[in-house]
Structure 1
Amino acid sequence: MTEVDGVTRTTSVSARAAGTAAAAGTPVTVTGLAARAGIDGSHLIPYGREVAKIDLSVLKPDGEAPGSPPHYVVVTAMTPTSFGEGKSTVAIGLAQGLAHRGHRSLLTLCQSAMGPTFGIKGGAGGSGRARIEPADRMNLHLTGDFHAITAAHNLLAAMIDNHLHHGNALGIVERTITWPRVLDVNDRALRHVVIGLGSAADGVTRQASFDITPASEVMVIMSLATSLADLRERLGSVVVARDEAGRWVTAEDLGAAGAMTAILRDALAPNLLRTGEGTPALIHTGPFGNIATGCSSVIADLVAARGMAALPGQEPGYVLTEAGFGADMGLERFFDLKCRVSGMRPEAAVLVVTVRALKAHSGAYRIAPGRDLPEAMLQENPEQVRAGAGNMLKHLQIVRGFGMEPVVAINVFPTDHDSELAEVERLAREAGARVTVVRPVTEGGAGCAELADEVARACRAARDGGPGGAGRPLYGPGDSLRTKIGRVAAMYGADGVDYAPVAARFLDDCEHDGYAELAVVVAKTPLSLSHDPALTGVPTGWRLPVSEVRLAAGAGYVLAVCGALSTMPALPSHPAAERVDVDTTTGQVLNLR
């Protein structure tokens, strides 16, 4: 090992070779990729030439004493624009940057959903020289996990309606059924439907709905399950309706949980892919960020932690993961849900910031999804960067509130100006944050090498007793549901919480029926610290309105709905699907982004 600029870097021959090969984009077999991930080839389940699942037997004790735990790093962001600020791209670039510096790293990310891929947003596997490969597999089907989740979810929906058709022995009250059907395609026409039309043999006629597959509670359960047994128990706890006596009806009551587990058995294993520079990545699950954790799976992180643990004579590797949307939403759920389950605590948090997001939070522009940024917003204007800086500073405060010392990564876009980047850097340093400018899209790992250095320093400082590594949650399981929601709202900056009568009654029912110790998820817009997407910057003088409460007992939380909420996205007038095609000579998928 050597120390350069205060950063300890691994300089063994194998580590240097791995880092050099990764930086050069040297082709690597799935077995070789697993070796870089610290995973023995005996645990691989190949899916074609470039993808494999990791058998969960890798988590079973094998008699070998575990080494020192890896460094654990979470990537989050300031409040994004509707275009996203490149968290996944920065996370991929950071993994490659660590390889450039000779460190071992393993990245855990959510899988792309096909709905957004074919809609407005596009895929979620990075961009340019910081991208998950093979990109077409990442964005289309992968190993079929999303299809398995869709099938398991819809099996339960079918068994509910079948139970009604065959006499309703459980006494389900039809109007209380909350379990929709799901599909991994954006389709506005399915948001509200009537099912059971036709003859009596075609089932009970009733109103129903469709959500997109990432919004399924089954997706969240998959992301939080720690084993097949845990998955089976969580699926059995799913509530779908009430009976005539007011009791909750569960998937276990309907006899559906066992078959759902059978469908999901293989999907519970994480998927091994790579970055464009050959750094290993575990891609697994993709819960909807608005109403769920927005994080990749606990199992992927546990597998990564085992692979990156330090064996004798080794330095600990780095496990990098991402929390959806801004720190107000994704990071809070990361700590209050995911970390509670996994028991892992990050040593550093990377806060992704962009010039365009800072300008958006100046309040000078109106940005609409699917439309180009206003031309005036692309002109050089450091003053507007300063005007929107409050949002970044608020997120720095949020990160520190969780016991973490943030590392600011200024993600550069082609329309940024040097004076604007310098202003962001100055503001972040004045706030006491570590800060670097990163260029993952155009420079890959080389463009994130300085970020890798800062992250390494932050992790070392945390292990030496400095900030980070504690990662405290926002509330305790013994707090009341209203207290939990209130603490989340206070973190946003709300002056208080207002509950609609129906929401207040539902919270009372949850606590009365034994669900008081569950976590909470506040479903709100990701485009503002508040519930109102029009309120940019750091809104003040507002209260959080809770219009509805839902119970996700299998996933382990109560959902407080604030503002308009759609769990089935729509396609724009010209969806990305119009551009996607296949080269019929080579079989290559064209125009995925």
Structure 2
Amino acid sequence: MKRDIEIAQAVEATTMKPINEIGAKIGLQANDLENYGQYKAKLTYNAIKQVKDKPQGKLVLVTSINPTPAGEGKSTISIGLADALNKIGQKTVIALREPSLGPVMGMKGGATGGGQAQVIPMEDINLHFTGDMHALTTANDTLAALIDNHIQQGNELNIDPRRIQWKRALDINDRALRQIVIGLGGPTSGTPRQDGFDITVASELMAILCLAEDISDLKQRIANITVAYTYDRQPVTVADLKVQGAITMLLKDALKPNLVQTLEQTPAFIHGGPFANIAHGCNSILATKMALGLGDIAVTEAGFGADLGGEKFMDIAAPAIGHTPDATIIVATVRALKYNGGVPVAELTNENLTALKKGFANLRRHIKNMQQYHVPVVVAINAFSADTAAEIKLLQDLCAELGVQAINTEVWAKGSAGGIDLAKAVTEALKQPAEFTPLYDRQDSVENKINAIVQKIYGGKHVEFSNKALQNLKLINKNQWQDLAICMAKTQYSFTDDQHVLGAPEDFTIHVREIIPKTGSGFLVVLTGSVLTMPGLPKKPAALNMDVDENGVISGLF
């Protein structure tokens, strides 16, 4: 069986189209694109302005159950669905996140779909692509250097070095950088203080890039970032440092959405990449707007499970886009649900209807959660070869009891041909009324908004705030930040804040250890449990299997 990278390389060598041809399929001219080689391009600002004024198509959000070691395949389904929609005559454009080198080199080895449902050029997208991640890292660390330099050069703003909120960033999992000490080496080397690194995709600049409408909006959001507090606890912003122009300059090209293609030449915007467990988990609103303006249907994806990326898309991204989803797809696998039902990974290929029925509780909660938003829901069963007819039927029957269609989907093995039934079901769902209802009122108190997510989405009963979090709440109310949206930072593996609790637990307590105001991106990051903003590499990282030969051909990326 060919690996994903081998499938992608075979297509890249034979049937991949020049990016200008892909752009032409959706009405883009050559002067609308800034080419990065033959197969990648960014949209020009002129093209972005023109597309934003066009009538918008329908929006399909793809989310999933909680991730498991058994695999779910959300990106694969998103890509295969878009290919299938095009195949049945629905002009469809994809908008997805850019991969981070953290999971690429660590756990996953790639993030561009799989099998016959991939975006290409696969190696480029997974590695340096058009340089967006590097630009974000540079901008983030330039701001960090400017803050420390301000203190070194007299500290006119009276910044308390103990209360600097802005961390440095690196787009790789490096646990050794979570907590560091900087400024050692004497007076000329700065003021010694504790610091740390976030992974780039957790940087507020990543969130801002993904929420900004244009350069002016980007600059204003950057200006609004709270980077530190003074000795008398007053917030210090980038505007106070007067460097919003310089930081925006470093991101002027990164703000432009990237255009590539699928294996079947469906146009795909791959842009922005915040994690959904520690950030808001959605690609840029510009990419989504481009897909909406250039296609009749736009397919987008939210990171991790519907309790994280799905909720954040509905309550953070959709208001920023100005377009709520017209249908929601929840991806599930028989294997993952059996795992939620207590089956060890080694036994997942064995038929087990009892475990499947027990594990269905996880999918049931995600379905009911998404139905709270009053948007039509379809379940996509991502098929594996070991799935039995009895298991598929049971899963479809259980979904039908909730009034939801569950479609067996084989896009990994068959590409668009394996997604025709799903595409037809989605087309029918798009004909149903979608009367979007937000989960909470932005003007409600911070505590009530957090409780709404915990109780309505997670199934929890209580929220326990640490002393630090309670102090954060006082600061938030003092500075009148309480109307910001809520961005929960929580393990992706469970509805709880304990990654080992599977299924659909009830009446548990979520432990909030810290609440960090992100005044540029417009939300409050609520850190729960032991979730980290700088992940670590596993014992056997994916990098161990990667190589490149003398001709520059990559292997082992996935």
Which of the five TM-score ranges fits, normalised by the shorter chain? over 0.9
The total of aligned residue pairs comes to 545
Instruction: Note if 1:349 corresponds to 2:349.
Output: no
Q: Which residue of 2 aligns with 1:312?
A: none
Instruction: Note if 1:241 corresponds to 2:253.
Output: no
CA separation in 2, counterparts of 1:376 and 1:61? 53
**1:78-89 equivalences in 2 (<5 Å):** 78-82=65-69, 84-89=71-76
Distance 1:66 1:555, change over 3 A: closer
**Deviation sequence 1:83-125 (CA, Å, 0-9, x none):** 6411101000001111221221100000011111111122211
**1:200-211 equivalences in 2 (<5 Å):** 200-211=187-198
Distance 1:508 1:38, change over 3 A: farther
RMSD after superposition? 1.7
**1:253-402 equivalences in 2 (<5 Å):** 253-308=240-295, 317-365=296-344, 373=345, 375-402=346-373
Q: 2:173 aligns with which of 186, 191, 210?
A: 186
Q: 1:418 aligns with which of 384, 389, 392?
A: 389
Question: Structure 1: which 5+ runs fail to align?
Answer: 1-21, 309-316, 366-372
Q: Any idea what SS the aligned residue of 1:571 has?
A: coil
Q: Which residue of 2 aligns with 1:552?
A: 518
Q: Any idea what SS the aligned residue of 1:176 has?
A: strand
Distance 1:61 1:282, change over 3 A: closer
Amino acid aligned to 1:28:
K
Distance 1:126 1:475, change over 3 A: same
CA separation in 2, counterparts of 1:506 and 1:82? 35
Instruction: Note if 1:517 corresponds to 2:475.
Output: no
Q: 1:214 aligns with which of 191, 195, 201?
A: 201
Instruction: Note if 1:486 corresponds to 2:451.
Output: yes
Instruction: Note if 1:73 corresponds to 2:44.
Output: no
Q: Which residue of 2 aligns with 1:573?
A: 539
Q: Any idea what SS the aligned residue of 2:260 has?
A: strand
Q: Any idea what SS the aligned residue of 2:348 has?
A: helix
CA drift at 1:211: 1.3
CA separation in 2, counterparts of 1:83 and 1:523? 23
Contact between 1:335 and 1:472, CA under 8 Å: does it hold in 2?
Answer: no
Q: Which moved more, 1:85-94 or 1:564-573?
A: 564-573
Contact between 1:78 and 1:392, CA under 8 Å: does it hold in 2?
Answer: yes
Amino acid aligned to 1:273:
V
**Deviation sequence 1:396-433 (CA, Å, 0-9, x none):** 10110011121110001233233222221121122210
CA separation in 1, counterparts of 2:71 and 2:149? 42
CA separation in 1, counterparts of 2:28 and 2:473? 45
Amino acid aligned to 1:471:
F
CA drift at 1:471: 2.6
CA separation in 2, counterparts of 1:152 and 1:556? 19
CA separation in 2, counterparts of 1:58 and 1:482? 42
Amino acid aligned to 2:503:
G
Contact between 1:85 and 1:353, CA under 8 Å: does it hold in 2?
Answer: yes
Amino acid aligned to 1:425:
Q
CA separation in 2, counterparts of 1:528 and 1:432? 25
Contact between 2:71 and 2:333, CA under 8 Å: does it hold in 1?
Answer: no
Distance 1:330 1:589, change over 3 A: same
Contact between 2:70 and 2:339, CA under 8 Å: does it hold in 1?
Answer: no
CA separation in 2, counterparts of 1:414 and 1:167? 66
Q: Which residue of 1 aligns with 2:467?
A: 501
CA separation in 2, counterparts of 1:423 and 1:56? 50
CA separation in 2, counterparts of 1:173 and 1:303? 43
CA separation in 2, counterparts of 1:506 and 1:113? 30
CA separation in 1, counterparts of 2:264 and 2:472? 50
CA separation in 2, counterparts of 1:418 and 1:528? 28
CA separation in 2, counterparts of 1:207 and 1:364? 44
**Deviation sequence 1:206-258 (CA, Å, 0-9, x none):** 11111111111100100110110000000011111110221001111122211
Normalised by the length of structure 1, the TM-score is 0.89
CA separation in 1, counterparts of 2:454 and 2:53? 43
Q: Which moved more, 1:299-308 or 1:266-275?
A: 299-308
Q: Any idea what SS the aligned residue of 1:532 has?
A: coil
CA drift at 1:514: 1.8
Q: Any idea what SS the aligned residue of 1:460 has?
A: coil
CA separation in 2, counterparts of 1:258 and 1:82? 44
**Deviation sequence 1:24-67 (CA, Å, 0-9, x none):** x94422111012233333211000010000112223359x9844
Normalised by the length of structure 2, the TM-score is 0.95
Question: Structure 2: which 5+ runs fail to align?
Answer: 1-10
CA separation in 2, counterparts of 1:525 and 1:441? 27
Contact between 1:58 and 1:303, CA under 8 Å: does it hold in 2?
Answer: no
**1:432-511 equivalences in 2 (<5 Å):** 432-461=403-432, 466=433, 468=434, 470-491=435-456, 492-511=458-477
CA drift at 1:512: 2.0
CA separation in 2, counterparts of 1:30 and 1:80? 33
CA drift at 1:274: 0.5
Amino acid aligned to 2:44:
D
Instruction: Note if 1:197 corresponds to 2:162.
Output: no
